[in-house]
Amino acid sequence: MKDHELKCLDRFFGAIFDGSKPFEVRFNDRDYQVDDMLLLVEVRRKSTECGVVYPVQTGRCVQRRVTYVLKHDDFPEGVPDGWCVLGLSDRSVTP
């Protein structure tokens, strides 16, 4: 079991936070496994005057447990190579 701190765009964070989005699509660069814990940190995209876009944390976060990992090898027609779909547990909010 590993702990992962991940940025999550605000447009997706709300649905994860309220439980209506019980999954997450991620590049599988961390070899996610069932029972890993995710700390999802909400970020917004902010642009500078010269057009550089960077993430800014909003201060909200939520913790989820990985309950299922669907990889390309399991479903090559639906999951691109190198990506995965993570099933997430019910919400567990961090302060």
48-83 confidence digits (pLDDT tens):
878 888 889 999 999 999 999 999 999 999 999 999
- Is 38 strand, coil or helix? strand
Q: Residue 95: its pLDDT value, please?
A: 46
Q: Kindly report the backbone phi and psi dihedral angles of residue 11, in degrees, each rounded to the nearest multiple of 5, phi listed first.
A: -65, -20
Q: Which sign does the torsion angle of CA 57, 85, 69, 15 carry?
A: positive
Q: Which amino acid is at 2?
A: K
The pTM of the full predicted model, rounded to 2 decimals, is 0.85
pLDDT tens-digit map of 15-37: 999 999 999 999 999 999 999 99
Burial class (CB within 10 angstroms; exposed 0-12, middle 13-18, buried 19+) of 66: buried
Q: Note whether 72 and 83 are within 8 A (CB).
A: yes
CATH 2.30.130.30 holds for 3-93: yes
